[in-house]
Amino acid sequence: MYKKNFIVFSLLFLFIANLFAQSKPNIVIIVSDDHAFQTIGAYGNKLNASPNIDRIAKEGVVFNKAYVTNSICGPSRAVILTGKYSHKNGFKDNEHSFFDGSQNTFIKELGRAGYQTAWIGKWHLETKPQGFSFWKILPGQGQYYNPDFIGMDSSKNRMEGYATSLIEDEAENWLNSRDTSKPFCIVIGHKATHRTWIPDLGDLGRFDNIQFALPPNFYDNYNGRQAAAVQDMTIAKTLRMGYDLKMFENEQEESKEGTISRMTVQQRAAFDAYYQPIYKDLQQRKLTGNALTEWKFQRYMRDYMSTAVSLDRNIGRTLDYLDAHQLTQNTIVIYVSDQGFYMGEHGWFDKRWMYEESCRTPFLMRYPALIKPGTTNNEMVMNLDIAPTLLEAAGVPVPADMQGISILPLLKSNKVKGRQTIYYHYYENGEHAVSPHFGIRTKRYKLIRFYTRVNCWELYDLEKDPSEMNNLFGKKGYEKITQQLKKELNDLIRLYDDKDAAAILLQQ
């Protein structure tokens, strides 16, 4: 009798556990690095380079006005985890910051609510992950070929293959081994499309027949924009022939690059077979001036886009996995980059700025239980909003100190309005000579205060000047809107308790 009752009780327990797991949505967050929204089909690109990301848009929602709080890799991830601005979570820049893993995160909240949680791939927060059921991460930026992975036991093991595919392999391994009686949340952190844009072997040359159009402001002279005038991130002057474009004078120079020297004999042979003929052709052309700059732009675009193809292919693998295991209907899928990126606009690569191409990020979400397929949302949302959104979706109370706002109401009703103003603050005063700055963006205007390297204000009318070429600050006729925006800026600085920004404004 006892044995029979035990079996009945066990079966009942499993049934209730599975019912609990099914009542809570599973969560898959795919975070890429430096993926420009301009290169994605769902945002208007015509090259068909992102069919799987576009699939998320077709089956869910694409946010056309998604922004980050601080356009640089590590700080963006910290914001996603904590739902708090950089000055509150402590990770302000990549040069001096270490993530305090003891602080609360949406992952810890989900764990306390019964979720299994994992982070696999690029972490880049300088400390070991805390609060996850499982993690396996790349050290630092990681490598594209034969990357090392750090495990929970602190072991470091090199895995042969291409990072983007290996990260997906490890994500699926964890999904296969999870406890199916519990809901799960997995963050898949990709290295792609971070500098130095080395494609998977099968993708080399994929865009060699494409002649990419120069952005209209490729030869920007930065007139009236002091901070832009002193930066060091142009394709013309900053992009390196060897490090970035793989144009090496000889094998010895090539071998000095760790990303290449770690390749297997077979990988390097395929790598050399592709890049060496390009180098020989370049030598014969003897290009100089604008002709050389535009050649560099084409090489940059081709390598970047080819690297992005592998990213998209492996996102497709994630979606296929969910389909194959009947997980699609009850799983939230979010695709987001840690920030935007420049594809030659203003003559630049990289990010950091509050200008649109940098602080605007791709952000797509699929959740069949709530989101109608093919939805487009034009309200302003932020990476800051991901944490409270997922907690609300999971039925978990949102901690009072999270500064983001759940976007679920935007998805439930088209009558709900999103943010009218967003606040941004970039701190790093080092690489690429981008001056620290903070500011606000409304639906029409953008006001920016630069400090430390350059001290100045900038004002843009995004309706008339979407490329942000004409700084209106101090010009006649804009006094009233400037004062209004300064008041809104002060209000948000107080709301988010940004004491650094408040102190800088007091100095003016």
The reported pTM is 0.94
Asked if 444 and 462 touch (Cβ cutoff 8 Å), the reply is: yes
**Which residue do the tokens 């027949």 mark?**
209
Rounded alpha-carbon distances, angstroms, from residue 120 to 30, 135, 136, 137, 427: 10, 6, 5, 5, 27
Sign of CA dihedral 42, 43, 48, 52: negative
List 424's β-bridge partners, or say none: 439
List 311's β-bridge partners, or say none: none
**Residue 333: CB partners within 8 Å, gap ≥ 6?**
28, 30, 56, 60, 318, 319, 322, 365, 366, 367
As a whole number of angstroms, the distance between CA 245 and CA 254 comes to 11
Number of helical H runs and strand E runs in the chain: 16, 14
Write down the pLDDT at residue 4. 54
Domain positions in the chain are 2-198+310-337+359-414, 205-300, 431-507
As a whole number of angstroms, the distance between CA 163 and CA 12 comes to 43
As a whole number of angstroms, the distance between CA 37 and CA 42 comes to 8
Q: Which two tokens stand for residue 340?
A: 């935007």
As a whole number of angstroms, the distance between CA 407 and CA 412 comes to 9
As a whole number of angstroms, the distance between CA 131 and CA 112 comes to 10
Asked if 58 and 365 touch (Cβ cutoff 8 Å), the reply is: no
Q: Characterise 398 by phi-psi region: left (phi > 0), alpha (psi -120 to 50), beta (else).
A: beta
Taking 3-state DSSP, the helix, strand and coil percentages for the chain, each rounded to the nearest 5, stand at: 40, 15, 45
Q: What is the DSSP string of 98-138?
A: ---TTS--HHHHHHHTT-EEEEEEE--SSS---S-SEEEEE
List pLDDT tens digits, range 121-142: 999 998 999 999 999 999 999 9
- The two beta strands, 61-67 and 363-366, are antiparallel
Q: Residue 106's CB: how many other CB atoms inside 10 A? A: 28
What is the CATH class of 431-507?
Answer: alpha beta
Q: Which two tokens stand for residue 58?
A: 């077709």
The answer to whether domain 2-198+310-337+359-414 has CATH 3.40.1010.10 is no
**Which residue do the tokens 């952000």 mark?**
363
Residue type, 153: D
**Residue 482: CB partners within 8 Å, gap ≥ 6?**
447, 459, 473
Instruction: Give 10-residue mean pLDDT values along the chain (508 residues).
Output: 50 46 88 98 96 98 98 97 98 91 97 98 95 97 97 96 98 97 98 97 97 98 97 97 96 94 97 98 97 98 98 98 98 98 98 98 97 96 98 98 97 90 96 96 98 96 98 97 98 98 89
Domains 2-198+310-337+359-414 and 431-507 share a fold: no
**Residue 107: CB partners within 8 Å, gap ≥ 6?**
81, 117, 119, 131, 132, 185, 187
Write down the pLDDT at residue 17. 45
Q: What is the DSSP string of 64-77?
A: EEEE-SS-SHHHHH
Q: Is 21 helix (H, G, I), strand (E, B) or coil?
A: helix
- The two beta strands, 375-382 and 61-67, are parallel
List pLDDT tens digits, range 235-291: 999 999 999 999 999 999 999 999 999 999 999 999 999 999 999 999 999 999 999
